[in-house]
Amino acid sequence: MKFTDNNLIKIAEKVESGNRLDYEDGLMIDNSADLLGVGHLANIVRERINGSAAYFISNRHINHTNVCVNSCKFCAFSRKAEDDDAYTMMIDKVLEEAHMHDGENFSEFHIVGGLHPTLPYSYYVEMISSLRGEFPNVHLQAFTAVEIVHLSMISGKSTRVVLEELKNAGLGSLPGGGAEIFSNRVRKKICPEKIDGKEWLAVHKTAHDIGLNTNATMLYGHIESAEDRVDHLLLLREAQDRSGGFLTFIPLAFHPRNTAYEEIGRTSGVMDLKMIAMSRLMLDNFPHIKAFWIMTGEKLAQISLSFGADDLDGTVVEEKITHAAGATTNQGLTKQRLEELVHEAGRSPVERDTVYNVVGIV
Ligand code: V47
Ligand code: SF4
């Protein structure tokens, strides 16, 4: 490959010989205008780790409440209890929502919500055990690290005990939300009430210690710098070296509509692809990089399968968080459509469950 950015030549040598990239390499990648060069290198790593497989999952998102005690500036989803469009689903409503998809073959519920001011700890344990009872074969990926700390605070139990009790009730893994950007400087501005990066990492470490896999995310395209993004990825890579329980990394493009940062505008296609590629290159110990099509759009998610991503997430069906912030993508995609996107990209579609067991090869 002929690089138009000479800085990539040194990085290519490291990638080809399987050597780890460092902070300076990360900054060069982030600053590089040679998108095809960066994508080419990420594709080498992607194919080394995952061949031509492109994973997807048949899943359903449930957001049990939009009421939240925090007011993160990038969030268009949360409401205060007194707002007209605030909602909270009691357990029977959560089950009703879950049962709306009876008869469809799906393998995961992805459940996240706001930090509700008054719902008791028992609500969360009961939600998980009721879903487990009624859907014994569906994996329950629920509650971000931020929610786990909230449950710890309202119950007076440690995060370890909360995780153990939820696991005993049927929790299968934690989603990757709430990581945002670990930089304290940025976090103080965009989500001052939220747990800091250290606490987020500590919850994931505890989850890994008790045998729960987790995902990780990074929210980019707001007020963070290239340095903040590279730091974030390196902190995740160190954490993964220590505990090894992360399955997937998902870079999340900031959607500004209805947030305090409307003036920032949406991320560019170049930035979105570069974040996918940079994640694949820096996170050499993460098995999977996900292009969450709901955030990137179907078209870019499809192209990202040649820029480092090996996963498109899933059928989803109903998504509230990004759509509150102006996402114009569909709320869900059929399995058939996901398979078409993958085939057309020259990849091999593989339906997976949450922990990447193969459900079917198409
Ligand atoms: O933590 C909130 C982000 C996350 C906005 O683990 C926003 O497989 C963009 O983490 N623009 C929740 N992003 C969603 C999430 C997720 C999604 C899909 C799969 C997985 C997984 C995890 O959404 C939040 C926050 O970082 N978010 N507001 C916004 N305006
Ligand atoms: Fe609440 Fe999460 Fe939105 Fe922050 S991002 S306001 S914690 S729902």
Burial class (CB in 10 A: 0-12, 13-18, 19+), 319: buried
114 CA distance to ligand 2 middle (Å) = 6
Distance between CA atoms of residues 197 and 248, nearest Å:
18
Nearest CA to ligand 1 atom 15: 177
Q: Are 95 and 47 in contact (CB under 8 A)?
A: no
Ligand that lies nearest to the alpha carbon of residue 78, given by its number in the listed order: 2
**Mean pLDDT over residues 302-306, rounded?**
97
pLDDT the model gives residue 200 = 98
Q: Are 319 and 331 in contact (CB under 8 A)?
A: yes
| Cβ–ligand 2 contact at 78 (below 6 Å) | yes
**Mean pLDDT over residues 141-164, rounded?**
98
Best mutation site among 219, 279, 289, 352 for ligand 1, i.e. most ligand atoms within 8 A of its Cβ? 219
Pairing of strands 108-111, 348-352: unpaired
Which strand (E) or helix (H) includes residue 59? strand 59-62
Does position 5 have pLDDT exceeding 90, yes or no? Answer: yes
Q: Are 251 and 220 in contact (CB under 8 A)?
A: yes
Atom number in ligand 1 closest to CA 76 = 30
Reported as a pLDDT band with limits 50, 70 and 90, residue 323 is confident
What count of residues does the chain have? 362
Nearest CA to ligand 1 atom 14: 177
| Cβ–ligand 2 contact at 76 (below 6 Å) | no
Q: Are 98 and 62 in contact (CB under 8 A)?
A: yes
* Percentage of the residues of the chain whose pLDDT score is greater than 70: 99
Q: Which CATH number is associated with domain 54-352?
A: 3.20.20.70
List pLDDT tens digits, range 104-121: 788 999 999 999 999 999
Coil, strand or helix at 183: coil
Nearest CA to ligand 2 atom 4: 72
248 CA distance to ligand 1 middle (Å) = 14
Backbone φ and ψ for 46, nearest 5 degrees, come out as -60, -45
Does position 4 have pLDDT exceeding 70, yes or no? Answer: yes
Does position 49 have pLDDT exceeding 70, yes or no? Answer: yes
Atom number in ligand 2 closest to CA 191 = 4
4 CA distance to ligand 1 middle (Å) = 34
The two tokens of residue 67 are 């009421």
Burial class (CB in 10 A: 0-12, 13-18, 19+), 81: middle
pLDDT the model gives residue 150 = 98
Backbone φ and ψ for 174, nearest 5 degrees, come out as -105, 140
Closest CA to 218 of 187, 189, 245, 178: 178
Distance between CA atoms of residues 309 and 56, nearest Å:
11
Which strand (E) or helix (H) includes residue 216? strand 213-220
Nearest CA to ligand 2 atom 7: 70
Pairing of strands 348-352, 358-361: antiparallel
Fill in the DSSP letter of residue 262.
Answer: G
| Cβ–ligand 2 contact at 70 (below 6 Å) | yes
Residues in contact with 109: Cβ distance below 8 Å, sequence separation at least 6, in sequence order: 59, 60, 61, 62, 98, 131, 135, 138, 139, 140, 141, 142
Tell me the torsion sign for CA atoms 339, 342, 343, 347.
negative
List pLDDT tens digits, range 179-233: 999 999 999 999 999 999 999 999 999 999 999 999 999 999 999 999 999 999 9
Distance between CA atoms of residues 252 and 269, nearest Å:
13
Tell me the torsion sign for CA atoms 164, 169, 174, 179.
negative
Reported as a pLDDT band with limits 50, 70 and 90, residue 362 is low
- The residue with tokens 């085939």 is 343
Fill in the DSSP letter of residue 144.
Answer: -
Distance between CA atoms of residues 227 and 229, nearest Å:
5
Best mutation site among 217, 218, 295 for ligand 1, i.e. most ligand atoms within 8 A of its Cβ? 217
Q: Supply the angle between the helices 23-31 and 269-282 in degrees, to the nearest 10.
A: 160
177 CA distance to ligand 1 middle (Å) = 5
The two tokens of residue 199 are 């606490």
Q: Domain limits of the chain?
A: 54-352
Atom number in ligand 2 closest to CA 68 = 1
Q: Which residues are paired to 56 by β-bridges?
A: 351
Does position 319 have pLDDT exceeding 90, yes or no? Answer: no
pLDDT the model gives residue 187 = 98
Atom number in ligand 2 closest to CA 180 = 5
**Mean pLDDT over residues 62-78, rounded?**
97
Range of weakest confidence among 99-108, 118-127, 230-239, 257-266: 99-108
pLDDT the model gives residue 245 = 98
Best mutation site among 65, 66, 67, 68 for ligand 2, i.e. most ligand atoms within 8 A of its Cβ? 68
Coil, strand or helix at 125: helix
Coil, strand or helix at 57: strand
76 to 119, 132, 192, 257: CA distances (angstroms) = 21, 30, 16, 7
303 to 266, 274, 284, 300, 357: CA distances (angstroms) = 19, 12, 21, 5, 24
78 CA distance to ligand 2 middle (Å) = 6
